[in-house]
């Protein structure tokens, strides 16, 4: 069975593992999915290592020998955890991996068990047929990406760095997918930059008291006012070099005038993709959770809010200054989770290999760089000097709202896209 033939079943199998990560550490974990991956790798002659950083928080690492051992290995990594899904909101059970309308439906179908399946399919086919890649490939299927990677990539980097020490480049999720321009041209977005991540806990302190009395030092009131200011605040536009390169490519491809005085207007013309790209032209800080009080008639002495903050490469200090100015006095903040922003050049032999592999399978392909508004495990691996790219190749139907699939209801991946990505990755490993 070829990798292209096997990838659909591998993806369905992986989706059926309910490796839900809600950030509390109390879920089922990734162990069952990791054991499945390890077995699939062992079956074709590889020697995977299984690591459990905490109960059921399990990652798998293996190494596939290439034809040129003098070259530094390529890291190919993917996460096995998924965000929660409420079954009653879905057309099909999110963990049944139903096939309908030419797609596999289920949580993780695009984030990112599709890529995990494509990598497994390519590796298994190459091992069965004796086709070695151009250089050694280090495979990492990790836990906990959806909560920042503390029990997955970060743990591996801190505790098992020797497994990746000689890697200089890596590929993973949220890149390599197509944006249709017309019947003859598709842009494939390669992620070369991503915003930094700051999950923040805000605290307002006031005077506790009886709910029936006048209280001019109410922590809940102070917090809500600060949260409202922050939620409505619009951070200024900054066009980084990666965003500029992307906008130049897109405006030329779609014959859209790039108005330097109206960057938002240009982005708005991108349709569904504007949701991802729009968040890469400014820093953001979105309130997401509130917590205060313990009884209806008691004014609490403290109130808390959670904020999801994201900052552009090179703009961390400016973002923090603006954040504090908007929050004002009397509000303290602490980082619950913090991670760096990344940006690398869209050039070099690896980038050429991506473009060549895409074009071999889609003559209308044009690879372009873009910035991811979220973050990936590339942040953790960058601490070892590994230059990371988002390259999970998928040729998508022009009318599919792909960005809406991430963490959304009715997440799904087209079968043809999976098979396409498997062929592209197979070609890529020959040249990478």
Give the pLDDT score at 412. Answer: 97
| Same-domain check for residues 213 and 134 | no
Give the pLDDT score at 257. Answer: 82
Using the 3D structure, point to which of 311, 340, 369 is the last residue of a domain.
340
Q: Is residue 272 part of a domain?
A: no
Give the pLDDT score at 270. Answer: 74
Total domains present in the chain: 2
Give the pLDDT score at 261. Answer: 80
Residue tagged 């890697």 (tokens): 167
CATH number reported for the structural domain that contains residue 295 in this entry: 3.30.70.360
pLDDT digits (tens, 9 = 90+) for 199-225: 999 999 999 999 899 889 999 999 999
Using the 3D structure, point to which of 299, 317, 340 is the last residue of a domain.
340
Q: Is residue 69 part of a domain?
A: yes
> Residue 278 — pLDDT band, cuts 50, 70, 90?
confident
Using the 3D structure, point to which of 340, 370, 389 is the last residue of a domain.
340
Residue 359 has pLDDT above 80, yes or no: yes
Q: Is residue 260 part of a domain?
A: no
Q: Is residue 139 part of a domain?
A: yes
Q: Which of these ranges, 256-260, 277-281, 393-397, has the smallest mean pLDDT?
A: 256-260
pLDDT digits (tens, 9 = 90+) for 33-84: 999 999 999 999 999 999 999 999 999 999 999 999 899 999 999 999 999 9
| Same-domain check for residues 126 and 214 | no
| Same-domain check for residues 336 and 346 | no
Percent of the chain predicted with pLDDT > 70:
99
> Residue 405 — pLDDT band, cuts 50, 70, 90?
confident
| Same-domain check for residues 74 and 169 | yes
CATH number reported for the structural domain that contains residue 107 in this entry: 3.40.630.10
Check: CB of residue 395 under 8 Å from CB of residue 186: yes
Give the pLDDT score at 298. Answer: 93
Cβ-Cβ contacts under 8 Å for 163 (sequence gap 6 or more): 49, 61, 63, 138, 140, 156
Give the pLDDT score at 414. Answer: 97
> Residue 403 — pLDDT band, cuts 50, 70, 90?
confident
Nearest to 244 by CA among 177, 192, 301, 176: 192
Residue 309 has pLDDT above 90, yes or no: yes
Give the pLDDT score at 256. Answer: 84
| Same-domain check for residues 309 and 412 | no
Cα distances (angstroms) measured from residue 2 to each of 11, 125, 126, 376, 422:
15, 6, 9, 30, 10
Q: Is residue 334 part of a domain?
A: yes
- Per DSSP, the three-state class of 127 is helix
Q: Which of these ranges, 36-45, 135-144, 376-385, 402-411, has the smallest mean pLDDT?
A: 402-411
Give the pLDDT score at 404. Answer: 81
Extract the tokens encoding 19.
């490796």
Number of H helices, E strands in the chain: 12, 19
Nearest to 428 by CA among 8, 66, 111: 66
Residue 1 has pLDDT above 80, yes or no: no
Give the pLDDT score at 11. Answer: 98
Cβ-Cβ contacts under 8 Å for 294 (sequence gap 6 or more): 300
> Residue 288 — pLDDT band, cuts 50, 70, 90?
very high
pLDDT digits (tens, 9 = 90+) for 389-398: 999 999 999 9
Give the pLDDT score at 5. Answer: 85
Percent of the chain predicted with pLDDT > 90:
86
| Same-domain check for residues 59 and 157 | yes
| Same-domain check for residues 174 and 44 | yes
| Same-domain check for residues 163 and 231 | no
Bridge pairing between strands 74-79 and 137-142: parallel
* Beta bridge pairs of residue 250: none
| Same-domain check for residues 138 and 217 | no
Q: Mean pLDDT in the chain?
A: 94
- The gap from C-alpha 28 to its chain's centroid, in whole angstroms, comes to 21
| Same-domain check for residues 363 and 408 | yes
Q: Is residue 244 part of a domain?
A: no
Nearest to 144 by CA among 126, 130, 158: 158
Q: Is residue 45 part of a domain?
A: yes
- Per DSSP, the three-state class of 131 is coil
Residue 266 has pLDDT above 90, yes or no: no
Q: Report the alpha-carbon distance of residue 378 to residue 266 in Å, rounded.
A: 29
CB atoms under 10 Å from CB of 423, counted, come to 21
| Same-domain check for residues 64 and 121 | yes
What letter would DSSP give residue 72?
A: P
Q: State the residue range of the domain holding 323.
A: 196-236+283-340
Q: Is residue 231 part of a domain?
A: yes
Question: What's the burial of 43, exposed, middle or buried (CB within 10 Å: 0-12/13-18/19+)?
Answer: exposed
Give the pLDDT score at 166. Answer: 95
Tell me the residue length of the chain. 432
| Same-domain check for residues 385 and 332 | no
Cβ-Cβ contacts under 8 Å for 277 (sequence gap 6 or more): 243, 246, 267, 270, 370, 371, 373
């Amino acid at each position: 069975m070829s990798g292209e033939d096997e990838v659909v079943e591998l993806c369905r199998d992986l989706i059926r593992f309910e490796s839900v990560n809600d950030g509390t550490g109390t879920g089922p974990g990734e162990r069952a999915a990791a054991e499945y991956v390890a077995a699939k790798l062992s079956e074709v002659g590889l020697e995977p290592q299984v690591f459990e950083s905490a109960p059921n928080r399990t990652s798998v690492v293996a190494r596939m020998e290439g034809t040129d051992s003098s070259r530094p290995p390529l890291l190919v990594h993917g996460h096995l955890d998924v965000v929660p899904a409420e079954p009653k909101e879905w057309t099909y059970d999110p963990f049944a991996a139903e096939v309908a309308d030419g797609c596999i439906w289920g949580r993780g179908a695009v984030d990112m068990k599709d890529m995990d399946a494509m990598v497994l399919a390519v590796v298994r086919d190459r091992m069965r047929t004796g086709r070695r890649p151009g250089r050694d490939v280090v495979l990492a299927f990790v836990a906990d990406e959806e909560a920042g990677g503390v029990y997955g990539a970060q743990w591996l980097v801190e505790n098992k760095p020797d497994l990746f020490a000689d890697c200089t480049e890596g590929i993973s999720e949220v890149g390599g997918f197509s944006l249709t321009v017309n019947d003859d041209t598709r842009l494939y977005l390669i992620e070369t930059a991503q915003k930094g991540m700051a999950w923040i806990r805000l605290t307002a302190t006031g005077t506790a008291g009886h709910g029936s009395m006048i209280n001019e030092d109410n922590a809940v009131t102070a917090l809500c006012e600060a949260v409202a200011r922050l939620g409505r605040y619009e951070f200024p536009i900054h066009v980084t070099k990666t965003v500029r390169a992307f906008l130049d490519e897109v405006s030329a491809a779609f014959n859209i005038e790039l108005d330097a005085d109206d960057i938002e207007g240009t982005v708005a013309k991108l349709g569904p993709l504007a949701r991802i790209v729009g968040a890469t032209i400014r820093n953001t800080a979105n309130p997401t959770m509130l917590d205060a009080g313990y009884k209806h008639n008691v004014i609490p002495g403290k109130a808390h809010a959670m904020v999801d903050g994201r900052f552009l490469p090179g703009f961390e200090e400016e973002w923090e200054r603006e954040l504090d100015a908007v929050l004002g006095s009397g509000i303290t903040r602490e980082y619950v989770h913090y991670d760096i922003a990344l940006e690398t050049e869209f050039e070099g032999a690896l980038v050429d290999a991506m473009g060549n592999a895409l074009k071999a399978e889609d003559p209308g392909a044009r690879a372009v760089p873009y910035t991811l508004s979220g973050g990936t495990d590339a942040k953790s691996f960058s601490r070892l000097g590994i230059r990371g790219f988002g390259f999970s190749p998928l040729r998508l139907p022009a009318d599919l709202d792909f960005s809406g699939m991430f963490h959304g209801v009715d997440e799904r991946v087209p079968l043809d896209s999976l098979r396409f990505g498997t062929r592209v990755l197979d070609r890529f490993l020959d040249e990478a």
